[in-house]
Amino acid sequence: MHPARSHRGGRRCMRIALSLLFLLANVATADEAKCLFVSSYHQGYAWSDGVERGLLETLDGKCQIRQFDMDTKRKKSLEEKKAAANEARALIESWRPDIVITADDNAAKYLIKPFYRDKDLPFVFCGVNWTVKEYGFPYRNVTGMIEVAPVKTMIEEAKALTPGASRGLYIGADTPTEKKNASRIRQVAEMQGLEFEQQLSSSLQSWIAAYEAGQKFDFIIIGSNAGIGDWSDDAAFEAIKPITTQLTVTSHEWMMPVTMLGMTKVPEEQGEWAGKVALQILDGALPNTIPIIANRKWDLYLNPALVESAGLKLPAQLLGKGKVYQ
């Protein structure tokens, strides 16, 4: 081989090698990436804690993780929610994460939609209730998992356990999320030929009053207590135990202290899925190629103390399947 050609070939190989090294040096591996988790709520709220557990277990050791809690169950005014979103946005701009994972509606409503629609920064949401229509998802940089309750199955089970049922009641906290939940459940109930009403409360006393009034209905669906500032499981249980005569059902595990039968969503599923999808995106997947999906897991719970105090008898098949709430 001619010496000049040999030198030119060597230089070309060197340039290719250097280019590959440069590319490798600038591609962040998952364990070098920054993952920011923005929760709409606060630590200590059972649903949020479950989502956080699922997410952190999935991402542990795979990226740098930082968390910001918007705390909008306790900071309820529009000004406070917007301020929390602006704090999260400031953290994003200063810390510069490679991906942001959000949990529940307020992060979607006050952070993603107004500031990051179709931007370069990828987002994975979870825990958005029922539908993403309000937020216009998907964006090119956003995918996620919505949160739906097994409403149809829950109402069908309640009707089966209360033959001839024609009227149901939904009670929960007086919050935007619970208003959305109550509306969706009423639609399903009316499609099944039921009259359905709702009572939303901002205090434990008014919740207990709504529960007592609910004994005139055929069954009660227990919504979330998040937003009732003076809530106490023990106080609620002691108040309702002697007055309970009608079947109660819920889709929230943390409401089992005051509910007979639970067909409950699994918050860890939301966090695990969001974490796995975040890692896929860090590995090069495009968010808008990953479909938005709904949760698929449920747990069945029973509260024998309330069932017995009401003098109700549940089918042996149901008793055999359910986890006993202690």
Encode pLDDT of 148-191 as tens digits: 888 998 999 999 999 999 999 999 999 988 998 999 999 999 99
Coil vs helix vs strand at 139? coil
The reply to whether 313 falls in a domain is no
Q: Is the pLDDT of residue 24 over 50?
A: no
Residues 316 and 311: their CA atoms lie apart, in Å, by 15
Could you tell me if 183 and 124 lie in one domain? Answer: no
pLDDT at 313: 84
Range of the domain at 50: 33-148+267-296
Q: Could you report the per-residue pLDDT of 110-151, keeping only the tens digit for each? A: 999 999 999 999 999 999 988 999 999 999 999 999 998 889
Could you tell me if 90 and 77 lie in one domain? Answer: yes
Place of tokens 């227990």: 222
Could you tell me if 240 and 164 lie in one domain? Answer: yes
Average pLDDT, the chain: 89
Whole-angstrom CA distances from 41 to 20, 89, 267, 283 are 44, 16, 13, 29
Residues 241 and 244: their CA atoms lie apart, in Å, by 6
Q: Could you report the per-residue pLDDT of 236-269, keeping only the tens digit for each? A: 999 999 999 999 999 999 999 999 999 998 999 9
User: How many percent of the chain have pLDDT more than 90?
Assistant: 74
DSSP 224-246: --TT-TT--HHHHHHHHGGG--S
Is residue 127 exposed (0-12), middle (13-18) or buried (19+ Cβ within 10 Å)? buried
pLDDT at 31: 56
pTM reported for the whole predicted model = 0.76
Q: Is the pLDDT of residue 47 over 80?
A: yes
Q: Is the pLDDT of residue 22 over 60?
A: no
299-325 average pLDDT score: 84
Q: Where are the alpha helices (DSSP H) in the chain?
A: 3-26, 46-59, 78-95, 105-107, 113-115, 151-161, 176-191, 204-213, 233-240, 267-282, 304-309, 316-321
Residues 143 and 274: their CA atoms lie apart, in Å, by 9
pLDDT at 126: 97
Residues 40 and 36: their CA atoms lie apart, in Å, by 13
The reply to whether 290 falls in a domain is yes
Could you tell me if 167 and 223 lie in one domain? Answer: yes
**Better pLDDT: 137 or 25:** 137
12-25 average pLDDT score: 45
247, β-bridge pairs: 219
**Better pLDDT: 119 or 24:** 119
The reply to whether 230 falls in a domain is yes
pLDDT at 12: 54
Could you tell me if 180 and 108 lie in one domain? Answer: no
Could you tell me if 81 and 178 lie in one domain? Answer: no
Residues 256 and 291: their CA atoms lie apart, in Å, by 33
**At 57, is the pLDDT very low, low, confident or very high (cuts 50, 70, 90)?**
very high
pLDDT at 231: 96
Q: Structurally, how many domains does the chain consist of?
A: 2
203-214 average pLDDT score: 97
